[in-house]
Amino acid sequence: MDIELIQIIVITIIIIAFGIAITYINLKKKITIPVNKEQSSWQKIEELNEKKKELQRQKEEASLKYSSKSISDQLYSDTLRVINTETAKLDSEINSEVSKLTELQKTQDTSNDMRFQNIKLKGELNETRLERDNLKERVRELEEFIKNISGSKSVPANANDSVKSKYYEKILDKYKEQINEQERKTISQIKNTVVPNDLTIKGLVGKYKPIGYDYNKDYLNTIKKIYNFLKSEVDVVKVDVKVIYWMDPTTILKEKFCDDQDIATLLCSLMQALNDYDSFVYVVLLDDETTHSFVKTKYKGAHYILDLAQKCPFEMYVNADEKTLIENYKFNGHKIKKTIYKFNQNAYIDTED
């Protein structure tokens, strides 16, 4: 009997020890598995961010090629569409991994675990990086704008061209009254220079407007692409001879030059074709007593002045306050003295005193 009792005790001890070992192993798994999952998620996030960096590099490279006109508009547009689609997919995957990390944080006591405090910090860092990238893009556009200005001032005029210009000006000056009489338009005709239903306007809009276009979601991005296209393709000239001459959209895009009012009318036509009925062509008097034209609009509480004659960045002149926007605007260093009139296809408003 003593031997049997000893055997029972030994077996009992073995069973208890085995149970403790199993419990310890399971507990250790519960502790380590989330950590392993956390490490896996962080590693995947890092990999996804590297892919985003590569896409950003490709986007910058495509932009440089487009600026140098080494690739076509269609290829540039297609490249950006693919890059933006892939970037959106990566963002979705990153958000999914961050959600997993958040769930892991909820299932553990992380009050003293610095690893999980890093989740919030890294999320904030990612937002800061995005803001930095946006600022870099704005700075690049401003640098390009400044480069264009300095470049236009540094190119010496050919002496023969200068003589020709004076000769042409003399001819125009002699016949400007007859030309102006032929080109002078009534208010109704001025309004009709904004032509959102023109085939050339529709063709250009169709080139950049996304499928299923929604004014509330897609307008700003679409008109910015069109603005940048016109900025790179059309030269805006300002002549001293006061001759009225109107150019239609087809002629402007064919010849690739026009004056400030023609380019403003073309841009306003494109904006109205995209359902922006707040866009107007403004004709203003500057403080140097010269006139100038640009387009002004309002979108989601922000007022914009779009001036292709300056070839400035799209968001150079934007402000939530209309009065401040007008006060801050300058053309060739000159501020607006007053608005003479403004118009679009539906209205003509004479504001001159």
Same domain, 127 and 28: yes
Q: Which of 99, 130, 147 is the last residue of a domain?
A: 147
Same domain, 129 and 17: yes
Domain-located, residue 167: no
Domain-located, residue 166: no
pLDDT of residue 48: 79
Model pTM score: 0.56
Domain-located, residue 29: yes
Q: How many domains does the chain have?
A: 2
pLDDT of residue 201: 93
In whole angstroms, give the CA distance from residue 118 to residue 122: 6
The answer to whether 291 touches 284, Cβ cutoff 8 Å, is yes
- Written as one string, the DSSP assignment of 67-117 is HTT-S-HHHHHHHHHHHHHHHHHHHHHHHHHHHHHHHHHHHS--TT-HHHH
**Encoding tokens for residue 261?**
């009012």
pLDDT of residue 336: 93
pLDDT of residue 101: 65
Same domain, 233 and 102: no
Distances (CA, A) of 280 to 265, 298, 345: 9, 10, 9
Same domain, 220 and 320: yes
pLDDT of residue 161: 64
How many angstroms from the chain centroid is the CA of residue 192? 30
Q: Which of 119, 147, 175 is the last residue of a domain?
A: 147
**Encoding tokens for residue 182?**
């032929």
Domain-located, residue 164: no
- DSSP 8-state code for residue 277: T
pLDDT of residue 112: 47
Chunked mean pLDDT (size 10), the chain, 353 residues: 61 66 58 58 77 78 58 70 82 76 59 52 58 60 54 51 70 67 77 92 92 94 95 84 77 90 94 95 91 94 94 91 93 91 92 60
Range of the domain at 70: 2-147
Distances (CA, A) of 293 to 34, 117, 198, 211, 342: 63, 54, 21, 32, 9
Same domain, 284 and 224: yes
Domain-located, residue 180: no
